[in-house]
Amino acid sequence: MHTAKLGSRINGVCMKKRTMWLTAIFFLSSAFLAQAEGGQANLPEVPTKGMVTMLDLGAKKCIPCKMMAPILQKMEKDYKGKAAIIFIDVSKHRDQGRKFGIWAIPTQIFFDKNGKEVYRHFGFMSEQAIVAQLKKMGVDQDKSDAPKETNAHRGSN
């Protein structure tokens, strides 16, 4: 009976060590995968050198962030070559949240051409508010897609 207890005790110790090793491997591989997924290689340079930059820090699962996604896509198109409009998903790139000192999402940070932060906003930001802020910073929207006014609809006097 004494040998049976000793055998089960040895098996129990081996099982604990095996479990400990498997847990360590799991955490290390998870950390590696998270780093590979959210690594710096995928991210654009922020702020963009020599260009006004609007950075939106959010997450794809955040409701106000989802509401802003089509606005940001439109802004990126409208300001192409004039201002950099950048979105970073902080659920995938947690280090970026710390880097930019955010405490709520979405957070929009505006940088001037020299890379200096000039304005910060927390929460949903409307297209009109973004346009107004960029205009304050000297960047006008690209109006090439906007309908042009014609004289055809004006009454003659």
List the domain boundaries for the chain.
2-37, 52-136
The four Cα atoms 128, 132, 138, 144 give a dihedral, to 10 degrees, of 20
Active-site pick, 52, 59, 65, 84: 65
- Is there a catalytic annotation at residue 65? yes
Segment 30-78, tens digit of pLDDT = 333 444 444 555 898 999 999 999 999 999 999 999 999 999 999 999 9
- Is there a catalytic annotation at residue 14? no
Considering the entire predicted model, what is its pTM?
Answer: 0.67
Q: Where are the alpha helices (DSSP H) in the chain?
A: 2-37, 63-78, 94-99, 127-136
| Identity of residue 35 | Q
Look at residue 14 and give its three-state secondary structure.
helix
* CATH class name, domain 52-136: alpha beta
The candidate with the shortest Cα–Cα distance to 105, out of 121, 123, 93, is 123
Active-site pick, 46, 62, 69, 131: 62
Question: CA 56, CA 51: separation in Å to the nearest integer?
Answer: 16
Q: Tell me, what's the pLDDT at 61?
A: 94
